[in-house]
Structure 1
Amino acid sequence: MDATSARKKAVIYRMVMPDHTCPYGLKVKDMLKRSGYEVEDHQLTTREETDAFKEKYGVKTTPQVFVDGQRVGGHDDTRRFLGKTVADPKATTYRPVAVLFAMTALTAMAASYAVTGNPFTLRAAEWFIGFSMVVLALLKLQNVESFATMFLNYDLLAKRWVPYSYVYPYAEGAAGILMVAGALTWLSVPIALFIGTIGAVSVFKAVYVDRRELKCACVGGSSNVPLGFVSLTENLMMVAMAIWMGLSALGVIPSGHVM
């Protein structure tokens, strides 16, 4: 047993006011209990009480944790004290994209199962890409201005015609919805092929030719997803889906649509 786990009693001061309960206080209290600590919980119930506490200990935030009479600190400091990792809000991560694709894949399989009784169908694969395009567009449309700003860092067409950075998420969403419905293929296929091809070329140039380290606007303008292989794959999937549905519409290959 290490030194930190041997200290079994912790004192926490946290805000619990009629109109506000500090969420970090709740998280720290739960974290300490799950780490085997007996928690002495002191609730700061007024703004005056909170301000007096901060002034007394020379701190700017609550909660504050004390172990053996020594101040450990707030939420992040307590995590470090307990040997837990502290997430860096500026660190790049593929988690948003991985979670998105996992959920759209499961949704596509669920829809396929509901319609055919089989989650593993050709239509499920088509739905997966269509659902992914719709959700990606939704994330971009939450803040189009922020998306456009990040998109302009690398998209070749947007750099030459700025309005394209605002049109893109609407086009992606419309193409995705039409592909899910299997409707107006004559419209959805050219849109997806156009934006997917430009996107793939833009990402390839920025990452593999110019060697730039950028963040991808694929899940919105405030993401920390690095521009790279995943971004390129997203665009290539869109292109592949457009080609597949175009060939299906022409009868060259079998369609996954349920009749």
Structure 2
Amino acid sequence: MDKNQLLTKLWEQYADITPSAKKIHELLEERGEEIQNDHIAIRTFNDKRVNIDVLEKPFLNVGYEAKGEYNFETKKLYAKHYEHATDKSAPRIFISELELEKCSTELQETVQNILNSCDQNVFNDPELVLSGSVWKGNSQAIYKSLLEESEYAAWMYVYGFRANHFTINTNALKEFKTLEELNNFVEESGWKLNASGGKIKGTPEQLLEQSSTLADLYVVDFEEGAIEIPSCYYEFALRYPMANGELYQGFVASSADKIFESTDVKLQETK
């Protein structure tokens, strides 16, 4: 599988449970915009079977290189981002993992049981990053127990290995010169934005501004009955030039921390 096939499959899998992204994409294209993707984000656990070292492999195989590292103390997350070595138009890849050893014994045991329940050969699949929930993620009780401690872990239980969000490169848009203008367009078109930490996270001084929709709600069929669970969201990024004139390529941990909350059930309750 080459780079374009990998990225296309990630988009198709993501768009299938994030109809808002497809609609926003289409609305912008109708206005004559050509959408470029800034980055794709993926979640996982730091268990050696599925950690960043495992999920990065398909990207390294198609020419990506590891760049920045990030820590999110409150959410107990560690992340790395990747850039393509030769194709500068290729989206960055952002992979985060939940640091299980920092979580409660109960959560650690639950995640271990989830991973142990799988055919262990599935973790050797070169397309694991596209495999969704490879375990039987159909217990509302397990979902809710994880949710009490970590929204991130609860999301992983339901949705598994897939793109958590795609991101519009606002710099490449013709009509929208600021993130505020794009945000206004998105809101006027009927979508709610993640307002945690402000609708725009980051500043020109930090060289990166980010915003995002609240995640779509997707009906999940649990064994106790079907309920709506936040799925994925669409992000928007505007990058600023560094002292050498080149656009900043990395991420701002304090901003990303708030972007993670776009899938938070509590934010959905205020939607």
TM-score between both structures, scaled by the size of structure 1:
0.24
Question: Whose strand fraction is larger, Structure 1's or Structure 2's?
Answer: 2
Bigger relative contact order, structure 1 or 2 (CA pairs below 8 A, ≥6 apart): 2
Question: Whose helix fraction is larger, Structure 1's or Structure 2's?
Answer: 1
TM-score between both structures, scaled by the size of structure 2:
0.23
